[in-house]
Amino acid sequence: MRKIILIGLIVVLTLGSLVCMLGFRREIQAGESLFLRSAEKATSSALNETPLPAESADPIPLPSASPLAEDPALCASMAWDALFAYPSHEAPIRVLALFAKENSPGDVIYQTMLADGKLMAKGVYHADADGDAKAWTEKALQGVTIGLLDSIYAETPELALAAYEALCAAERNDSVEVICAGITEDVLAAMRKDHFAMGVAAGVYENEMQVVYADDLLGK
């Protein structure tokens, strides 16, 4: 009898232990499930609370290049180089030269080339001392026999336009052209109007330092 009772107690204790273990396992599983659901909710909540960047209908503008400023000394040098190349001349080139003032960048180059025998002076004008540029050029052209002048060098667009007007009025037939240091819309307009009289300009064009030839300009 005692043996039967003992066996019964063992069975009861074993079943109780199994029940406890199963309950504990379910609690663990339930806790893991709750923990996972809590993490998912936290992640979802964080995503919902994070603001998304607003979409822009307009494209982002690209930075534009800064306007290039003309360097008077560089313009003067480039214009003198162009004088020898357009049209091609043999030294010494017979030239009327118009400068802003004595010893300006263009004048310094002029004096050097005179000393080197590359130029033959037909007249020199300085704006700060010689009065109206157009009147001076008209008188200078009258003093040079047709066929004995190659080019007119002008150190600024203003001087170039004055020389251009005087040259057009003179109606010479010896293919003299104005070479301009500096570029403006008025100079380009003169090139388009009479590419024989306003032949070349050196300066900033299309935001680059370059030499613009009237023939090339007309071809655009």
Computed on alpha carbons and rounded to an integer, the radius of gyration of the chain in Å comes to 45
- Segment 48-77 mean pLDDT: 69
Question: What strands lie across the sheet with 198-205, from one edge to the other?
Answer: 119-126, 93-99, 151-154, 177-181, 198-205, 208-213
Least confident among 54-63, 84-93, 162-171: 54-63
Average pLDDT, the chain: 82
Q: Is 188 exposed, middle or buried (0-12, 13-18, 19+ CB in 10 A)?
A: middle
According to the model, what pLDDT value does residue 211 have?
Answer: 96
- Segment 123-135 mean pLDDT: 97
Q: Where are the alpha helices (DSSP H) in 86-174?
A: 105-115, 133-142, 157-170
What is the percentage of the chain residues whose pLDDT exceeds 70?
Answer: 70
The C-alpha torsion from 128 through 202 and 136 to 195, rounded to 10°, is -160
According to the model, what pLDDT value does residue 70 have?
Answer: 85
Q: Considering the entire predicted model, what is its pTM?
A: 0.70
According to the model, what pLDDT value does residue 86 have?
Answer: 79
Which of 54, 137, 63 has its CA nearest to residue 98? 137
Beta strands in 32-175 (DSSP E): 93-99, 119-126, 151-154
Q: Which DSSP category does 126 fall into?
A: E
Pick 138 or 10 by higher pLDDT.
138
Task: Give CA–CA dist 87/75, Å, rounded.
Answer: 18
Give pLDDT tens digits for 12-23. 566 555 545 555
Task: Read off the amino acid at residue 110.
Answer: Y
How many CB atoms within 10 Å of residue 144?
17
Task: Give CA–CA dist 89/83, Å, rounded.
Answer: 8
Task: Give CA–CA dist 118/74, Å, rounded.
Answer: 19
Burial 11-24 (b: 16+ CB within 10 A, else e): eeeeeeeeeeeeee
According to the model, what pLDDT value does residue 34 have?
Answer: 39
